[in-house]
Chains A and B, each alone.
Chain A
Amino acid sequence: MIRSDKVRALFAAPYLSWAVIFIVVPLLMVFWYGFTDGAGRLSLANIAIITRPEYLKSLGLSMALSLVSTLLCLLIAYPLCLILTEKKTGRAAVIVLLFILPMWMNTLLRTMAWQTILEKTGILNTILRFLHLPSIYIINKPQAIVIGMVYNFLPYMVLPLYNALAKIDDSVIHAAHDLGADRRQTFLRVVLPLSVPGIVSGVTMVFIPALTTFVISQMLGGNKILLIGNIIEQEFTQAYDWNLGSGLSIILMIFIILNMVIEAALDRAPEK
């Protein structure tokens, strides 16, 4: 389209320079701090610290909670998206929009609202007491954090999953039926495989923010539950140890790179 190389370079220049200065250089700085000590000498201590039991425990807890949340999001979102794609009318689109709409309400306030709901003297327990039912104490426990994660990140699962399912051509499903597949077979052999890209991108979009959150655990965990995100946040804003904070950030990036590799592999498969 653009015939001249010069024009093309001119068009690419703003973005490429932006990307180098504000994406690549900052990441290199994280690596620089992560692999040096306070005096600027090369060191692996900031990475190796993860093997200490207290750090390992919070990384493990972060992974466990984010895996459970991701799985819950998938289990909740999949049937929902199947139902939504059935009605291929404007109404389904409105319902999808219903999942974007809450994002206009501030995340922190919405998470705070869960505290008001789940507290010992909160709304849920007030209702339960009114009905003479036993109270539920999950605030400041891992369960509350999982609720917060599922709540905050469910839209990130619904949207890509819905898009993937909506893309499946009806005729493919009809063809499966015509060829004698029952509903279960159609789902397992046709719909599910075709929705894999949506599942992968949904899982990524839920797992990573859940793995690294520090706000949800702070608000719903009563600061009693230390996730890896909380440690990193504390290293930067309180302990003033950029080296250690950067080292732990690099460990988080390993998961992200892993994820990219998996996605790239899946991406290549249907192409060829």
Chain B
Amino acid sequence: MTKFLKRVYIFLIVFFMYAPIAVMVVQSFNRSKSRGHWGGFTTQWYLSMFGDRSIMAALRNTLSIAFLSSLIATVISVLACLAIVQMKRRTRRAVMGVTNIPMLNADIVTGISMMLLFLSFGLKFGYGSILIAHITFNIPYVILSIMPRLTALDKSYFEAALDLGASPVRAFFRVVLPELMPGVISGMLMAFTMSIDDFIITHFTKGAGVDTLSTKIYTEVRKGIKPEMYALSTLIFVVILILLLLLNGSRSKAGRKKAPGGRSILEIAPAAFLVAGLAVSACSLTACGSAGEEAGAEASESNVVYVYNWGEYIDPDVIELFEEETGIRVVYDEFETNEIMYPRVAAGASRYDLVCPSDYMIQKMIQNQLLQPLDWMLLPNASGYIGEKYMAQARSFDPGNRYSVPYCWGTVGILYNKTLVDPEDDMESWDILWNPRYKDDILMQDSVRDAFMVALIRNGADSNTTDPAELEAALSSLMEEKPLVQAYVIDEVRDKMIAGEAAIGVIYSGEALYTQEENPDLEYVIPREGTNLWIDGWVIPAGAEHVENAHRFLDFLCRPEIALMNFDYIYYSTPNEGAHALIEDEEVRNSPVLFPELSQYDNLQTFTYLGEAMDRYYNDLWIRLKSY
């Protein structure tokens, strides 16, 4: 009976550990791209993942960083251990104390401290900074795994070898190292695993165009994770699982007696490493073509353009077309919010040539002299095809259109599910977000200006107000609303509304049409009290190194057929009138959601930058709301 209970207990825990993994495996075969929605069985993601350049690059980075960082950490650690073991007690304690820091310290503090180091000394963020960070947090795992073996090692072996005429180097390799090997290998394996699994430290130390699987997934979480990611993870998991089973099988056949516990990890380690090494080489082989290209391009550093854009905000084919046509290599990187983008560009630690912030952020960057004026002579398509009404709207944050070219625009409105709301309710007013009937059925925007815009406009204030009384009133409205809110989300609102997870969501107009296609029960409205009209525009940072290439890429994006490709891919309203005229589907071309007649509305407000003190104030308000 107790034996049965024990089995049940182990089974329950293993079930708890593996249920989410099973969910992911199932999702890797889901035809629908939407997370909560089963669209039929398919294996297509297992094929398409190999064609996805960014996923393959992230995989290569993840594996090569794990491999290199654990290897370098091991070499440094072995040398260090040999020295530490001979140190005086007090020195040894101090050194081991420092060694423990990265392990004991919170990842977030380690990540931040390294970010501050790199920023302060003007080091560029990139592959190198991630590698350094990973080596740093890997070293303690290796040292702590070698030290016990080394202290237990009988010194007389080494001395006997010397007495027998071996050189110290030979004695080390033939006598000491084999004794340390299990510790070395298990430390290295631990380091390898930690490096693969790390997200937080990489998050703070990564730079332009370099992603590991973790950071790639983090960016994707908001937009909905690409099914290829599930396929890749499943594949990695299955490879490791098979490896373990094989090893276990061969070991039981051999019937060797072994010590209980940790030993088996040590036996598996070399093989796991071999596989990881093979995987790295296989990856670099399959990616041989692109890797070769990149190496070649690295040589001519001038023929590059560093682009920093919102997630999922360009058709990847457009980048390829541009590269083919011009021979300029595009290093492409993504951000999730303006606030995340700003410090990266401001600190100059990542050398972007072309960035796509929103209205108020463009104004902030102009004020802080982070941008350089555009050369409109180099942008014939931009001056030819971007509609005048959009240029006029853009002058509210960029006087004289000197610094930016509008890329996408839209409104913020209410998306609701017709089957989940009462038809009697007035959906065309922001008040619906305060209706207690929809408790836990409301999705709010998780960005400070958008959330406050909703409350300010509902209360009859201007969304660019700096009046503390109006802002405090907006805060209390939002606090009043918070118990009704299911979650504060950015782009996740898309998947959640499609899946019917919530009845009402605050959403950007560009997402509305896509969600309606996936779920016809959804309806988008612009509330009659008014809302925000936003414009995202391309700008060139003051410190850009490839200004001419940046202009070429920007003008390429303004060609009507290219702008149309982007429109078809991202579905956000384009200010490019050449592209608008080319839209074939009349319903889309005349869609009141995507292309509302701006002259009909007199209460659409575009955000302006309110100054640093207001930034700080807004941030305080936000923390007060979130911790309420």
A205-236 contact mask (Cβ, 8 Å, vs B): 1 or 0? 00011011011000100111110011111101
State whether the Cβ of B217 lies closer than 8 Å to any Cβ in chain A: yes
Q: How far is the CA of A30 from the CA of B204 in the complex (A)?
A: 14
A119-B487 contact in complex given A90-B264, A224-B626, A226-B627, C-beta closer than 8 Å = no
A189–B340 Cα distance when bound, in Å, is 54
| CB of A140 within 8 Å of the partner chain | yes
Q: Are B95 and A117 interface neighbours, CB within 8 A?
A: no
B282 at the interface (CB under 8 A from A): no
Interface digits, A167-209 against B, CB 8 Å rule (1 contact, 0 not)?
1000000000000000000000000000000000000100011
Residue on A nearest B248 in the bound complex, by CB: A94
A218 vs B577: C-alpha distance in the bound complex, in angstroms? 39
**B82 interface hit (Cβ, 8 Å):** yes
Q: Which candidate, B233-241, B393-401, B454-462, B594-602, is the interface stretch facing chain A? A: B233-241
Most B CB contacts (10 A, CB to CB) among A26, A112, A219 go to: A26
In the complex the two chains form, what is the Cα distance from A15 to B265 in whole Å? Answer: 26
A146 at the interface (CB under 8 A from B): no
A22 touches B258 (CB 8 A): no
A154/B260 contact (C-beta < 8 A), A1-B82, A93-B265 known = no
| Residues of A close to B628: CB separation below 8 A | 54
Nearest Cβ on chain A to B488's Cβ, whole angstroms = 4
Contacts of B263 in A (CB 8 A): 93
Residues of B78-94 whose CB lies within 8 A of A: 79-80, 82-87
Pairs across A and B, CB under 8 Å, 27 listed? A2-B82, A11-B82, A14-B76, A15-B80, A18-B135, A23-B136, A24-B98, A93-B264, A94-B248, A94-B264, A97-B244, A102-B18, A103-B196, A104-B236, A106-B199, A106-B214, A110-B20, A111-B20, A117-B19, A120-B501, A140-B487, A223-B446, A229-B106, A239-B615, A240-B339, A249-B109, A253-B105
- Contact residues of A with B, CB < 8 Å? 1-2, 8-9, 11-12, 14-16, 18-19, 21-27, 29-30, 33, 54-55, 57-58, 61, 76, 79-80, 83-85, 88-90, 92-114, 116-117, 119-123, 137, 140, 151, 154, 162-163, 166-167, 204, 208-209, 211-212, 214-215, 219, 222-226, 229-234, 236-242, 245-246, 249, 252-253, 256, 259-260
Q: Using A222-B489, A249-B112 as known contacts, say yes or no to A12 and B623 having CB atoms under 8 A apart.
A: no
Query: What are the residues of chain B within 8 A of A119 when measuring CB–CB?
Result: 36, 499, 501
- A116: which B residues are within 8 A, CB to CB? 23, 27, 35-36
Is the beta-carbon distance between A242 and B116 smaller than 8 angstroms?
yes
Q: Which of A8, A97, A108 is within 8 Å of B218, CB to CB?
A: A108
- Work out how many contacts link A and B, with CB atoms closer than 8 A: 305
* Complex Cα spacing A29 to B110, Å: 11
* CB of B100 within 8 Å of the partner chain: yes
Asked whether A93 lies within 8 Å of B499 as measured between CB atoms, the reply is no
Distance, CA A219 to CA B346, complexed state (A): 28
**B6-14, B403-411, B531-539, B560-568 - the one binding chain A:** B6-14
B23–A54 contact, CB under 8 A? Answer: no
Which residues of chain B are within 8 angstroms of A242 by Cβ–Cβ distance? 116
A224 to B271, CA, bound (A): 44
Please list the 4 inter-chain residue pairs (A to B) with the smallest Cβ-Cβ separation, ordered nearest first.
A222-B487, A26-B113, A15-B80, A113-B20
Contacting pair A33 B116 (CB below 8 A): yes
> Is B423 interfacial (CB 8 A cutoff)?
no
Given A104-B240, A249-B112: A260 in contact with B80 (beta carbons within 8 A): no
Within 8 A of A (CB), among B102-127: 102, 104-110, 112-117, 120
Q: Give the residues in chain A near B487, CB-CB below 8 Å.
A: 140, 222-224
Contacts of B200 in A (CB 8 A): 214-215
B79 touches A14 (CB 8 A): yes
Q: How long is the Cα–Cα vector from A11 to B76 in the complex, in angstroms?
A: 8
A77 to B157, CA, bound (A): 40
Q: Which of B117, B217, B241 has the most CB of A within 10 A?
A: B117
How far does the Cβ of A111 sit from chain B's closest Cβ, in whole Å?
Answer: 8
- Contact A98/B17 with A12-B84, A15-B80, A88-B260 known, Cβ cut-off 8 Å: yes
Most buried by B among A24, A30, A113, A163: A113
Closest B residue to A255 using CB positions: B106
A122 CA to B199 CA in the complex, in Å?
Answer: 26
Out of B24, B248, B342, name the residue touching A105 (CB < 8 Å).
B24
Q: Is B173 an interface residue (CB 8 A)?
A: no
Choose among A25, A238, A241 the residue that contacts B337 (Cβ–Cβ < 8 A): A238
Cβ of B260 and Cβ of A92 under 8 Å apart? yes
Bound-complex Cα distance A88 to B236 (A):
30
Q: Are B339 and A93 in contact (CB under 8 A)?
A: no
Contact check: which of A85, A113, A162 meets B23 at CB < 8 Å? A113
- Decide: B86 and A239 in contact? CB cutoff 8 A: no
Chain A residues contacting B35 (CB-CB under 8 Å) are 112, 116
Partner of B109, one of A1, A30, A93: A30
Chain B nearest CB: distance from A50 CB in Å? 12
Give Cα A83–Cα B502 distance, bound, in whole angstroms: 44
Interface string of B6-46 (1 = CB under 8 A from A): 10011001101111110110010000000110000000000
Complex: chain A residue closest to B335, CB-CB: A237
Give B contacts to A, CB under 8 Å: 6, 9-10, 13-14, 16-21, 23-24, 27, 35-36, 76-77, 79-80, 82-87, 95, 98-102, 104-110, 112-117, 120, 132-133, 135-136, 139, 143, 155, 158, 168, 176, 193, 196-197, 199-200, 204, 213-214, 217-218, 221, 225, 229-230, 233, 236-237, 240-241, 244, 248, 251-252, 258, 260-265, 268, 337, 339-340, 342-343, 346, 440, 446, 482, 485-489, 499-502, 615-616, 619, 622-624, 626-628
Cα separation A241 to B339 with both chains bound (whole Å):
11
How far apart are B122's CB and chain A's nearest CB, in angstroms?
14
- Alpha-carbon gap, A14 to B79, bound state (A): 8
Question: Complex: how many Å from CA A54 to CA B626?
Answer: 9
List, in ascending order, chain A residues with CB within 8 A of B107's CB.
209, 212
Q: What residues on B are CB-neighbors of A8 within 8 Å? A: 82-83, 86
Q: Are B16 and A151 in contact (CB under 8 A)?
A: yes
Contacts A19-B99, A94-B248, A112-B221 given: A1-B176 contact, CB under 8 Å? Answer: yes
Contact status of A204 and B104, CB under 8 A, knowing A30-B112, A121-B501: yes
State whether B340 touches A27 (Cβ < 8 A). Answer: no
Name A92's closest neighbour in chain B (CB-CB). Answer: B260
Q: Are B19 and A26 in contact (CB under 8 A)?
A: no
* Contact status of A83 and B23, CB under 8 A, knowing A26-B114, A26-B117: no
A27 partner residues in chain B, CB cutoff 8 A: 101, 105, 113
Task: Please determine whether B100 and A260 come into contact, CB atoms closer than 8 angstroms.
Answer: yes
CB-defined contacts of A54 to chain B, threshold 8 Å: 623-624, 627-628
Bound form: Cα–Cα A122–B262 in Å: 38
Residues of B with C-beta under 8 A to A231: 623
Q: How many angstroms between the C-alpha atoms of A229 and B628 in the bound complex?
A: 16
Q: Which residue of A lies closest to B13 (CB)?
A: A80
Docked pose: A233 CA to B9 CA in angstroms: 38
Check B264 against A163 for contact (C-beta < 8 Å): no
Nearest chain B CB to A167 CB, angstrom units: 8
Known contacts A15-B139, A90-B252, A214-B108; A122 and B113 CB within 8 A of each other: no
Q: Are B199 and A249 in touch, CB under 8 angstroms?
A: no
Which of A21, A121, A166, A249 is within 8 Å of B261, CB to CB? A166
| Distance (whole angstroms) from the CB of B463 to the closest CB of chain A | 19
What is the bound-complex CA distance between A69 and B244, given in angstroms? 30
Question: Is the Cβ of A260 less than 8 Å from the Cβ of B501?
Answer: no
A99, A105, A106, A239 interface centre (most CB from chain B within 10 Å): A106
B83 close to A9 (CB less than 8 A): yes
A sample of 13 more A-B contacts (CB under 8 A), given A11-B79, A26-B116, A239-B339, is A14-B80, A15-B79, A29-B120, A30-B113, A93-B260, A104-B237, A106-B217, A109-B233, A110-B20, A110-B21, A117-B20, A224-B626, A249-B106
